Structure 1
Amino acid sequence: MSAVHPLIAHAPGELVSAFVVPAVSLVYLLTVDWRLTLVTLVPVVTAVALVPLLTLPARLREQEEYDAAMGRIASSVVEFVQGIPVVKAFGGGGRAHRAFLTAADDFVDVFSRWVRGVSAVAAGMQLALSPPFVLLVVLTGGAVLITSGGMTPAGLLPFLLLGPGLTAPVAALGHGFDDLQAARRAAGRIRAVLEVRPLPEPAHPVAPRGHRVELRGVRFGYEAGHEVLRGIDLVLEPGTVTAIVGPSGSGKSTLVRLLPRFFDPTHGSVVLGGADLRELDGRELHRTVSFVFQDVRLLRASVADNIALAVPSAGLDDVVRVARLADIHDRILALPRGYETVLGEEAELSGGEAQRISIARALLAGAPVLVLDEATAFADPRTERAVRDVLTKPAGDRTVLVIAHRLETVAGADTVVVLEDGVIVERGGPAELLARNGRFAALWRSHRPAVPDGGGGRDGVSREVPEEGESR
């Protein structure tokens, strides 16, 4: 958009000013002597004749390579700056800096090729439009006409004064040529984004009957030929908590993001209350499914407004109630203006505190289906406890689906689903799966080493894998 801005906001006015005065001058000079006027236009015609050389396919490819190289430099800078804490902690400054230097060297090579391709043409245009060259052409043509008796010496004066100004339109186009090309390429990228089709909305939406969730033969892949989910069949009953666990890259996040319909499955269907998600109105779906992300985004607004994001009409009493449930109420009261404190201006929250704000937001929304996408992956103990309270406290008939990074979080789940390589390999209650001593038990051992006494933790699940036949 910043590349398109000059073409829309500045180019029209600049081009009008660049064309009007020369056009009036040209009409006047034609009335003085049309022959010398044509001679005066020789530099302009020469410069215009060189313009197509700047739009050859090779020049356009070099422009695209230039844009791409600039993008790589920008990306390497952002990655380096954002990764400074990791770089300092693990001593990877040399490698991180080399990535930027590589991008910079690549840019120098691309820029050099581009300059070599356009420098001769650009120099020729600048020479043709320069005042000394224009005056030389006018003087030469005027001298021929004067010596032949075709005009008087006084008649040459208007051409010497106004002739250099006739090059202004071409000079303006020349100086704006880079902006024009950048705007053209940017418009193409914007058009490509706008041409991406949104998920289709149903012409005649249906209403879900209840909030039982079913995944029927679901398959999905971000790229053709590579499926992330392969034949998922799963039922989430109202009033239950279902936890999805599995190694990184198994498709956990992809699976849960099908519920708020961030994308549609390539095969199969996701059903809510007996209706395919593709048959539901988008607003109805978002009122039914609430989402807590791993990465929380808070608005530059008051704490109360951040919590009431999904329910702007909520009163302060309701906001305080869910803040207590999320164990963030006391921290909010310690802020400069309590619930009226503007985040990002008057106060900053830690990652765990922001996560608890997100949990309070989801609780206030009161959606009958709650999805927690690794909400405790980087959480502090209080945030993890808040999430566990959400999972263990009775919530009526709410359907809860949670991705668990810390397996202790799923101890209170009704059903645990183990996902590997896009396929469900195990499902059952936590104690049942531990007793099987299968994939879930192996994950449990890798995440939670056994304690010497083999006693149970406060979550009710033994810190050791039970022997066969032994209950939790």
Structure 2
Amino acid sequence: MAAERSALGELLRPIRARVRLAVAAQAISSVAAVVPFIAVAELGRVLLENGPDRTRQAWTLTAVAAGALLVRLIFLLAAGALTHFADGELALDIRRRLVRRLGEVPMSWFSGHNSGTVKKIVQDDVAAMHHLVAHSVLELTSAVVLPVTALIYLFWVDWKMTLVTIAPLVIGLSLYSVTMAGMGKHLPEYDRAMGRINGSAVEFVQGIAVVKTFGQAKRAHGRYASAASDFADFFLGWVKSTLISKTAAEIVLSPIAVLATVLGGGAWFVTRGWLAAADLLPFALLGVGLTAPILALFYASYELRFAKEAAARVTEVLDTAPLPVVDSPKLPSGNAVRFAEVSCSYDGETEVLSGIDLELPVGTVTALVGPSGSGKSTLATLLPRFQDVTGGAVSVGGVDIREMAPQELYRRVAFVFQDVRLAQDSIAANIRMARPDASEFEVHTAARTARIHDEILALPRGYDSVIGDDARLSGGQAQRLSIARALLADAPIIVLDEAAAYVDPQSEAEVQDALSALTGAKTVLMIAHRLATVVEADQIVVLDNGAIAERGTHTELLAAEGRYARMWRAHENAGGWRNRQMERTGA
């Protein structure tokens, strides 16, 4: 809890002065809000007592009430304006910092945080702090100042009757404390459940084309339904555990219950001669109004709890260590790539790669093959520095990539993966991502070379069509668009996850043509899922359990009769089986 308070305080530091000023304005507004009720109560007493200066006193009290209403309005507007402007600035600053930090953290960070979790932090958690800054702080101020001001006046009128008036408040607060007691225990589970719902919903929508293609829509939807059902069960259990105490608290604090207490106690006091009849009026007017701020206090405390939890999650992201960048970067001499005794671990304990010693001569194609989980993707992503090695070094042109400026590294290394990510922006902007200053001619040339130009022109607004709005691309089209982006970057080193592995035959031919244009005369490191695509590679590296098991050309590895040869025979057998199936079906 202390860490959460510290996180929230640190995030609010830039706007703290304005929030304090807003709290002061809200306090003045809250005091002014009580004054008209006091004036009305005093006016009733003046009129009932029938004193000699009754008329003058009545007009004075009326003027005081009107002036207090004006003061309340002015300071209320000032407080709201201060917090909303401060909140807008805070939300913008936090989201900018989050996006900047998310752009700096290792890509391996995202393997432990799904898109739903990231969305919740950037959108929902920042919104939770919006409610705190723009609304809850002022509501908490009013919830404290209003009843305190009213009680000071009521104690001045009659302290014994004031004790009767606040009896429902004491009982109601005790019942609410029971309701709040389990909140600290339930909030973390609430956040985890919401994260699961967000993640499953986002992943279901993003993968809808794939799951429908393979007839798994019901199963994929089932994961979301299961997450939603788990959340409903948890939330219903939480509500049931607080239902009795919360209901009893709201009944006790209801205006009817408080009014009944005031009138019953007041009647008893008046008949016993302990209270003048005229003095009962302030309690009837102000006593009923004490409950609303108390209820607001509890609801605002909920918002405060949520904001503290949200601030802790936001701070955790902001405190995530970025990939380190050297102050004096080195410039490589050439583009030869070397993995020198490389090891890598995601958790600092279990090694995914170990003892990788590999050279990629300039202008050659190196293919990584091996069973699933052998470390192919991890090895390939080390070159564009999606994560850092835990041992050894990856170098380009004789310089450790950790000692290069990120801009220099990405000027030399481009990548095309199966899982294409496109921004919700225009087609042209997506192609220009690597080179924002590229001319229209250069963009069109890259698209032509990637075999996607004609299909872009067929879109409603051509290159100005926006992904997700008036541009909905197939898997093959998205792949060729990402290849156009890599072509425009014109990097001398290409990291390639076999981009045509899971597209239809027609798209596969077009993607392969685009890849040929991309990789010509480049240094290529490719992950191979189908062995037929690596026959012409300059060297084939067979990975197994994170280590190099074999290396050589296709011919050399077949002659060695090792792992690769067995994989090749399995590949040929699978191909023969597919051909026989096509012959039987007449395809």
Please say if residues 128 and 134 of structure 1, whose CA atoms lie closer than 8 Å, have aligned partners that are also in contact: yes
Displacement of 1:165 in angstroms is 0.7
Deviation readout 1:283-320 (Å, 9 max, x if unpaired): 22222221212111223333222211111111122222
The alignment status of 1:53 with 2:178, answered yes or no, reads yes
How far apart, CA to CA, are the structure 2 residues paired with 1:112 and 1:262?
Answer: 42
The alignment status of 1:284 with 2:408, answered yes or no, reads yes
Q: Give, as a single letter, the amino acid of the residue that structure 1 aligns with 2:510.
A: R
Deviation readout 1:217-273 (Å, 9 max, x if unpaired): 111122343221121111111222211111211111111111111111111111122
Tell me the TM-score normalised to structure 2 length: 0.69
Please say if residues 498 and 528 of structure 2, whose CA atoms lie closer than 8 Å, have aligned partners that are also in contact: yes
Distance 1:413 1:279, change over 3 A: same
The answer for the alignment partner of 2:161 in structure 1 is: 36
How far apart, CA to CA, are the structure 2 residues paired with 1:77 and 1:361?
Answer: 29
Residue from 467, 482, 491 that aligns with 1:367: 491
The answer for the alignment partner of 2:551 in structure 1 is: 427
Q: Give, as a single letter, the amino acid of the residue that structure 2 aligns with 1:424.
A: I
Written as runs of structure 1 = structure 2, the 5 A alignment for 1:46-445 is 46-56=171-181, 58-75=182-199, 99=223, 102-103=226-227, 106-379=230-503, 380=507, 381-391=509-519, 393=520, 395=521, 398-445=522-569
Q: Alignment partner of 1:192: what SS? A: helix
Distance 1:91 1:273, change over 3 A: closer
How far apart, CA to CA, are the structure 2 residues paired with 1:154 and 1:258?
Answer: 83
How far apart, CA to CA, are the structure 2 residues paired with 1:292 and 1:181?
Answer: 44
Report how many aligned residue pairs link the two structures: 447
Q: Once structures 1 and 2 are overlaid, which stretch shifts more, 340-349 or 166-175?
A: 340-349
Q: Alignment partner of 1:402: what SS? A: strand
Deviation readout 1:67-89 (Å, 9 max, x if unpaired): 43444455555566666666666
Tell me the TM-score normalised to structure 1 length: 0.84
Distance 1:104 1:343, change over 3 A: closer
Q: Give, as a single letter, the amino acid of the residue that structure 2 aligns with 1:390.
A: L
Displacement of 1:365 in angstroms is 0.8
Deviation readout 1:115-159 (Å, 9 max, x if unpaired): 343223323321331112212332344234323433211210121
Q: Alignment partner of 1:41: what SS? A: helix
Query: CA RMSD, aligned part only?
Result: 2.9
Q: Give, as a single letter, the amino acid of the residue that structure 1 aligns with 2:134.
A: A
Deviation readout 1:46-66 (Å, 9 max, x if unpaired): 33344443444x543234334
Distance 1:262 1:434, change over 3 A: same
Distance 1:270 1:86, change over 3 A: closer
Q: Give, as a single letter, the amino acid of the residue that structure 1 aligns with 2:496.
A: L
Q: Once structures 1 and 2 are overlaid, which stretch shifts more, 70-79 or 253-262?
A: 70-79
The answer for the alignment partner of 1:459 in structure 2 is: none
Q: Give, as a single letter, the amino acid of the residue that structure 2 aligns with 1:187.
A: A
Q: Give, as a single letter, the amino acid of the residue that structure 2 aligns with 1:138.
A: V
Distance 1:374 1:179, change over 3 A: farther
Q: Alignment partner of 1:228: what SS? A: strand
Distance 1:78 1:307, change over 3 A: closer
The alignment status of 1:4 with 2:129, answered yes or no, reads yes
Deviation readout 1:430-467 (Å, 9 max, x if unpaired): 33323434322333333345999xxxxxxxxxxxxxxx
Q: Alignment partner of 1:260: what SS? A: coil
Distance 1:275 1:91, change over 3 A: closer
How far apart, CA to CA, are the structure 2 residues paired with 1:442 and 1:122?
Answer: 69
Over the matched positions of the two proteins, sequence identity in percent amounts to: 51
How far apart, CA to CA, are the structure 2 residues paired with 1:149 and 1:192?
Answer: 64
How far apart, CA to CA, are the structure 2 residues paired with 1:88 and 1:338?
Answer: 29
How far apart, CA to CA, are the structure 2 residues paired with 1:345 and 1:95?
Answer: 28
Q: Where is the helix percentage greater, Structure 1 or Structure 2?
A: 2
How far apart, CA to CA, are the structure 2 residues paired with 1:94 and 1:331?
Answer: 33
Distance 1:282 1:38, change over 3 A: farther
Please say if residues 47 and 170 of structure 1, whose CA atoms lie closer than 8 Å, have aligned partners that are also in contact: no
How far apart, CA to CA, are the structure 2 residues paired with 1:95 and 1:348?
Answer: 25
Please say if residues 62 and 113 of structure 1, whose CA atoms lie closer than 8 Å, have aligned partners that are also in contact: no
Q: Alignment partner of 1:324: what SS? A: helix
How far apart, CA to CA, are the structure 2 residues paired with 1:22 and 1:406?
Answer: 74
How far apart, CA to CA, are the structure 2 residues paired with 1:302 and 1:226?
Answer: 42
The alignment status of 1:446 with 2:574, answered yes or no, reads no
How far apart, CA to CA, are the structure 2 residues paired with 1:336 and 1:307?
Answer: 18
Distance 1:335 1:445, change over 3 A: farther
Displacement of 1:346 in angstroms is 2.7
Q: Give, as a single letter, the amino acid of the residue that structure 2 aligns with 1:227.
A: E
How far apart, CA to CA, are the structure 1 residues paired with 2:212 and 2:464?
Answer: 37
Please say if residues 388 and 409 of structure 1, whose CA atoms lie closer than 8 Å, have aligned partners that are also in contact: no
Please say if residues 243 and 404 of structure 1, whose CA atoms lie closer than 8 Å, have aligned partners that are also in contact: yes
How far apart, CA to CA, are the structure 1 residues paired with 2:217 and 2:498?
Answer: 30
Q: Alignment partner of 1:10: what SS? A: helix
Distance 1:439 1:150, change over 3 A: same
Distance 1:90 1:348, change over 3 A: closer
Displacement of 1:185 in angstroms is 2.5
Deviation readout 1:185-209 (Å, 9 max, x if unpaired): 2322223222321122223322222
How far apart, CA to CA, are the structure 1 residues paired with 2:510 and 2:494?
Answer: 20
Q: Once structures 1 and 2 are overlaid, which stretch shifts more, 374-383 or 362-371?
A: 374-383
How far apart, CA to CA, are the structure 2 residues paired with 1:81 and 1:290?
Answer: 28
